[in-house]
Structure 1
Amino acid sequence: MPDRDFLSWPFLEPRHRDWAEEVEAWAAAHAGRLSEGDTDTAVRALARSMGEAGLLRMAAPEDGRLDVRALCIARDVLARHSGLADFAFAMQGLGTGSLTLFGSDELKARYLPAARAGTALAAFALSEPEAGSDVAALATTATRDGDHWVIDGSKTWISNGGIAATYVVFARTGEAPGAKGLTAFLVPAGTSGLTIAERIEVSAPHPLATLRFEAMRVPDTHRLGKPGDGFKVAMATLDVFRATVGAAALGFARHALDLTIERATGRHLFGGPLFDQQMTQAAIAESAVEVETSALLVYRAAWLKDSGMPRVSREASMAKLHATEAAQRVADRCVQIHGGHGVVRDHPAEKLYREVRALRVYEGASEVQRIIIARAERARSEEAAQCKPR
């Protein structure tokens, strides 16, 4: 049975509880069925169905205010039902997040309604072959040419690559060295000079691709934020959506824990239920604790962002790091409790194990989250030292 206790926590408001019920009802009726078959087709169908149901209003809000708690609730619920449903929802948010936060009124009016309806998929193109977590190493360039920019370079590991209608592309414009000399652009899929260089197959099927830009001309009106503000745009977007990755991990972990308990109580071994073995009980207890601590970190980070805290990089990184690492352990215990069945291709436990693994890598690998947290702790320590009476 899905956990409902967290909905009564003080981090959430009555409207969030109503939202959770709305997402749960849609997921129970549609998520599993629409996730079947060809991955590209399934993602399109899932986005369209969520758009028709009105769920994507939270991913691409009309008023421009991203409710991080609502986003986390959606990913928590959807991931418990279907990894692909979670992916489809998340990418409509991440892929339009920079537009929602930094786009002109004209751009938002032109592109957000279709994203909100689920009829146009969105993508966020930051990573490159030689630059993932190290944003300062981005090599894609954008050169000003009158009222246009000419973009050359490539992006890889781009979710929805090849099926998206729009891409938010980050390129080096040279206003300053390193991360300070980047600019963000909204690029329609049909733009001349944009090609899909490669579709990437991964262990848990999702639409991924490498993009190539060759003398791609983008009008200055498609710029998001000021020239040189690309790093600010990227970090502000990730500040919103990083905690939601933890929420997806939480949803996967909840499902894995449910499967573990179901197997432990239904499987008989040595004259009694597998659950009666102390080691089984210990595994379930450890998983239950990790689910609860993940939920606390995720919804705390979301609440802080919604409460107006300007930067929640530390808290969002803590939520993503703990929830994704914990979900992998919970999924691993689930596989172990299922024995041989747990490693059979496409068994629910095996699928969960593959689904969870990618979350420890994308939107900042666990190692990067540790660096962010450590640096934040050093800064907090230095600030506290300066405040001490002398």
Structure 2
Amino acid sequence: MASMFDSAKQVYGELGVDVEAAFKRLDQIAVSLHCWQGDDVAGFENSGALDGGIQVTGNYPGRARNAEELRSDIDEVLSLIPGKKRLNLHALYAEPGKEKVSRDEIRPEHFANWIAWAKKNNVGLDFNPSFFSHPMMKDGFTLSSPDAEVRKFWIRHGIACRKIAEAFGRELGDTCITNFWVPDGYKDIPFDRLAPRERLRDSLDEIFAVEIDQNCNRDAVESKLFGIGAESCTVGSHEFYMGYAARNKKLLCLDAGHFHPTEVISDKLTSCLMFVDEVLLHVSRGVRWDSDHVVIMNEELKAIAEEVIRHNYDKRVHIGLDYFDASINRIMAWTIGARNMSKALLMALVEPAKQLRDAENSGDFSTRLALMEEIKTLPFAPIWNEYCERHNVPVGTAWIEEVKRYEKSVLAKRA
């Protein structure tokens, strides 16, 4: 394998690519794993079926049933993917013990086990308020509800979540990114689209008015084209949140599944980052709709990574994964997507960027196209395998057998 790597490294070197520098840079780019892939967004509240535009399909055996099982599964995934990792939690993954705690009263101590786990594994934590699957989501609305009591409940929830995130950042010495996604909307055509958006703006303003240490927590806001039960109007549209983020100095979250099927978030990055300081990415794969399929190595994933790397956005773009597939082995799904995200970043890092930029800047579009096509068949696999080997994770397809072993020894024993 070493000789294959050396040969591949020489091929890239002849194009002006420093593979060792690419490895070092990739080591600094964190990918935030989403905890909800392991248990189908169930959480630990036992509050009933999913609602609020979220749907998980499939019933593959072995779903994590509690926090201990979920953390065990995450440990397995972390052992299979190279590079720098984080973990993204939703509020409904609190562990209050025997205490029954309302979602608007959750506190940092309810996430003490997650903090301890993060310290042990040397990973940062990110966070999300959970504005769905709850009795106080009335008629499809939370922060934009016409009912003042409903709005107040969810405002308290948002404030509580930011305080929890602040505690994450303080305890771990690593800034937490807290993402606000609100599923409010109308199933059929509304008469008034302005009033709910004004209510959403005012609710967010009230949440963000509470002072939080920016070194410990940064806030992001996430748009969506539509959701199940909100097909005709989503209050938190792209235009709403693009304006809100720019005006209020918030991170803008771009989810790969939250736009029209003909739109891609890779093309939005350069435009958005002209007007907002930072962007959060939720890397997913929508098939016909926001179906959160497992991330594969497709053209859009490669384009997302290329935009981040080509424009040196890796300090301004925070990368998180967001998909949940219960039709296949959940550990396999997690690992496929996470490895592909890191693989796409490495592909972008070993592009002959100078040659491509010089050709474009000189108007030599023929050479630009020729190079773009030739690099598609460069010997990348040995480069990726070497990176995995240096991080002591399985090389090539070896990780598949490890997941099968874990399924037989751990997942199969879950009722």
Asked if these proteins are the same fold (TM beyond 0.5), I'd say no
Q: TM-score, normalised by structure 1?
A: 0.25
Q: Which has the higher contact order (CA 8 A, sep 6+)?
A: 2
Between Structure 1 and Structure 2, which shows a larger proportion of strand residues? 1
Instruction: Select the structure that is richer in helix.
Output: 1
